[in-house]
Amino acid sequence: KSIVDAAKLNGVTAIIASDMSVITYAKQAGVEVHISTQCNITNIEAVKYFSQFADVMVTARELTLKQVAEIVKIIKNKNITGPSGKLVKIEIFVHGALCMAVSGKCYLSLDNTNYSANRGACLQLCRRKYLVKDIEEGTELEIDNAYIMSPKDLCTIEFLDKIINAGVSVLKIEGRGRSPEYVKTVTRCYNEAAKAISEGTYTKEKTDEWMKQLSSVYNRGFWEGYYLGKKIGEWTVKYGSRATKTKLYVGKISNYFSELKVAEIKIESHNLSVGEDIIIIGPTTGVIEMNVAEIRVALAKTETASKGDDCSVPVISLVRRNDKVYKLIETEE
Average pLDDT, stretch 163-177? 93
CA distance 26 to 19: 11
Q: Is the predicted pLDDT of residue 333 greater than 70, yes or no?
A: no
Q: Can you tell me the mean pLDDT for 97-115?
A: 81
Residue 157 near residue 214, CB atoms below 8 Å: yes
H or E element in which residue 181 lies: helix 180-199
End residue of a domain, out of 178, 193, 223? 223
In a domain, 206, yes or no: yes
* pTM (two decimals): 0.82
Neighbours of 159 (CB within 10 A): 16
Give the per-residue pLDDT at 117.
78
Q: Could you report the per-residue pLDDT of 59-101, keeping only the tens digit for each? A: 999 999 999 999 999 999 999 999 999 999 999 999 998 887 7
Residues 80 and 219 placed together within one structural domain of the fold: yes
- My answer on whether 184 and 268 are in the same domain is no
Asked whether 116 and 18 are in contact (CB, 8 A), the reply is no
Dihedral of the CA atoms 154, 31, 185, 320 (nearest 10)?
-150
Q: Which helix (H) or strand (E) holds 207?
A: helix 204-215
Sign (positive or negative) of CA dihedral 315, 319, 325, 327: negative
The string of DSSP letters for 276-298 reads: -EEEEEETTTEEEEEE---EEET
The count of domains in the chain is 3
**Residue 200 and residue 79 share a domain:** yes
Q: Per residue in 181-215, pLDDT tens? A: 999 999 999 999 999 999 999 999 999 999 999 99
Tens of pLDDT, residue by residue over 123-161, are 888 888 888 888 888 888 877 777 777 888 999 999 999
Residues 310 and 172 in one domain: no
Q: How many CB atoms lie within 10 A of CB 263?
A: 26
Whether residues 213 and 114 share a domain: the answer is: no
133 lies in the same domain as 171 = no
As a whole number, the mean pLDDT across the chain is: 92
Q: What is the CATH number of the domain that holds 299?
A: 2.40.30.10
172 domain residue, yes or no: yes
Question: Domain limits at 214?
Answer: 32-98+152-223
